[in-house]
Amino acid sequence: MRADARRNYDRILAAAAEAIAEHGAEASLEEIARRAGVGSATLHRHFPSRQRLLEAVFRGKVEALRAAAGDLVTEPDPGHALMTWLRAVARHAVSNRGLAASLMGGAQDGDPTLGDTCHTMIVNAGEDLLTRARQASAVRPDVSIRDLLKLVNAISLAAEQEPDGVAEADRLLNLALAGVRPASRASCSHEAPWPADSSAG
Model confidence at 122, pLDDT cuts 50, 70, 90, reads confident
Distance (Å, rounded) from C-alpha 91 to C-alpha 93?
5
Average pLDDT over residues 186-197: 44
User: What percentage of the chain exceeds 90 in pLDDT?
Assistant: 32
pLDDT of residue 91: 84
The fourth-level CATH superfamily of domain 50-201 is Tetracycline Repressor, domain 2 (1.10.357.10)
The pLDDT tens digits of the residues spanning 145-186 come to 988 888 888 887 777 777 777 788 888 888 887 777 776 554
CA 11-13-19 angle, to 5 degrees, is: 100
CA 149 to chain CA centroid, Å, is 10
Count the residues in the chain. Answer: 201
Distance (Å, rounded) from C-alpha 90 to C-alpha 76?
22
Would you state the CATH architecture of domain 1-48?
Orthogonal Bundle (1.10)
Distance (Å, rounded) from C-alpha 186 to C-alpha 189?
8
CA 176 to chain CA centroid, Å, is 18
| Other Cβ atoms within 10 Å of 199 Cβ, number | 9
Domain ranges of the chain: 1-48, 50-201
Distance (Å, rounded) from C-alpha 132 to C-alpha 127?
9
Q: Which of 119, 98, 125, 111 lies closest to 55 in space, CA to CA?
A: 111
Average pLDDT over residues 24-48: 92
Model confidence at 133, pLDDT cuts 50, 70, 90, reads very high
pLDDT of residue 114: 66
